[in-house]
Amino acid sequence: MPTILHLITGLEAGGAERMLVRLAGATDRDRFRSVVVSMTDRGSFGPVLEAGGIELRLLGMRRGRADPTGLSRLGQILREVRPDVVQSWLYHADFLALAARLLSRRVPRLVWNIQCTDMRGDGLSRTGAVLRRLLAWSAAIPDAIVVNSGAGRDFHASIGYRPRRWEMIPSGIDTREFRPDPAARTSFRQELGLDNETVLVGLAARFHPMKDHPTFLAGAARLAASDRRTRFVLSGTGTDAGNPQLTDAVARLGIADRVILLGERRDMPAFFAALDICALSSAYGEGCPNVLGEAMACGVPCVATDVGDSAAVIGDTGVVVPARDPAALAAGIERLIGLGAGGRQALGARARARIEQEYELGKIVARYEALYQELATG
């Protein structure tokens, strides 16, 4: 039975982390052994992995600090686990896995997994930019590089990545977990103090410049001025009342009575089921956004900025608008509001069918398993 060791920078809530948890949990345990190694700590998803019976190891490295002992600890784990394939997730893990490959014979097959596009400006530190250049120079060393988006492949090729093999595998969505759920919709809205007639627009994203909350809020303010039925709800790390940047922006725009700040939530299927429209206002960096697939699987039409593969995920089931353009985002949301409840429900049904056809988790996991089998036995 081949052993697949997944090495990731950390396990806090994020798209790459979420996809790793889904993949490790759904990989056929009669055919593969999965081991997850976090360079830092358990984060939000470590307990989820352990509850699902996935072996988890921690290197205990501190974020933002070089720690050569982390490589030593990884080497010890490699000696114990003896993986057939090491798959690394995110740039820092790619670099650590590369170092292990170069310094040891205990990484027989190496796969990097790229889940982003251009993490420009404040999305990537100076150290991160240098690290990415080093990875570009070394990109022919791994046996394959998996990308979850065509935009991610094209961007990394443009900065010098020349791998032996590109493997395009998009993010997968568990359509049994994320599904239309009228009871959850009603319950979640009752928790928020909303009736079923309120048009609820949601943004599920951590508070980070990449996600561009200012554009979402500015678009919300435009809509709030002309439509009293609409409310806006934010979920994700840092999107709570304890974030003064966020609360000050909401107050400055005069929409404090129209915006609900939830912070990080674990009940995301219910969150999406409660929405009428899902928005994604990202300015850069997206690959194949999980939140679009999750919302669409719940039968919710989406409005997203044209970043990464968002347009490819949505297809003809939603609206795509330019990035950093509050007026365009507001107009896109208004277009879906104008469809009425029946029109949005029909569009949402098409959105779910698209996810079932193209991004269903079992189909995506099968593609990873085929790659692992080929590398482990080749």
- Residue 122's pLDDT is what? 53
Q: How confident is the model at residue 359 (pLDDT cuts 50, 70, 90)?
A: very high
* Mean residue pLDDT across the chain: 94
Res 65 pLDDT > 80: no
What mean pLDDT comes out for the span 99-119? 90
Q: How confident is the model at residue 120 (pLDDT cuts 50, 70, 90)?
A: low
- Residue 167's pLDDT is what? 97
Q: How confident is the model at residue 321 (pLDDT cuts 50, 70, 90)?
A: very high
- Residue 106's pLDDT is what? 81
Q: Could you read off the pLDDT of 266-302 as tens digits, one per residue? A: 899 999 999 999 999 999 999 999 999 999 999 999 9
Res 237 pLDDT > 70: yes
Lowest mean pLDDT among 12-16, 30-34, 365-369: 12-16
- Please name each of the domains of the chain with its CATH number: 3-171+360-377 (3.40.50.2000), 182-358 (3.40.50.2000)
Task: Specify the pTM.
Answer: 0.93
What mean pLDDT comes out for the span 347-357? 98
Give percent of the chain above pLDDT 70. Answer: 98
Res 343 pLDDT > 90: yes
Q: Could you read off the pLDDT of 187-207 as tens digits, one per residue? A: 999 999 999 999 999 999 999
What mean pLDDT comes out for the span 307-312? 96
Q: What is the 3-state secondary structure (H, E, C) of the chain?
A: CCEEEEEECCCCCCHHHHHHHHHHHHCCCCCCEEEEEECCCCCCCHHHHHHCCCEEEECCCCCCCCCCHHHHHHHHHHHHHCCCEEEEECHHHHHHHHHHHHHCCCCCCEEEEECCCCCCHHHCCHHHHHHHHHHHHCCCCCCEEEECCHHHHHHHHHCCCCCCCEEECCCCECCCCCCCCHHHHHHHHHHHCCCCCCEEEEEECCCCHHHCHHHHHHHHHHHHHHCCCEEEEEECCCCCCCCHHHHHHHHHCCCCCCEEEEECCCCHHHHHHHCCEEEECCCCCCCCCHHHHHHHHCCCCEEEECCCCHHHHHCCCCEEECCCCHHHHHHHHHHHHCCHHHHHHHHHHHHHHHHHHHCEHHHHHHHHHHHHHHHHHC
AA letter at 126: R
Q: How confident is the model at residue 231 (pLDDT cuts 50, 70, 90)?
A: very high
- Residue 135's pLDDT is what? 96
What mean pLDDT comes out for the span 316-336? 98
Res 89 pLDDT > 80: yes
Q: How confident is the model at residue 121 (pLDDT cuts 50, 70, 90)?
A: low
Phi-psi region at 62: left, alpha or beta (left = phi > 0; alpha = psi -120 to 50): beta
What mean pLDDT comes out for the span 138-155? 97
- Residue 360's pLDDT is what? 98
**Which residue would you say has higher pLDDT here, 249 or 378?**
249
Res 119 pLDDT > 80: no
Pairing of strands 144-147, 110-114: parallel
Q: Could you read off the pLDDT of 253-276 as tens digits, one per residue? A: 999 999 999 999 989 999 999 999
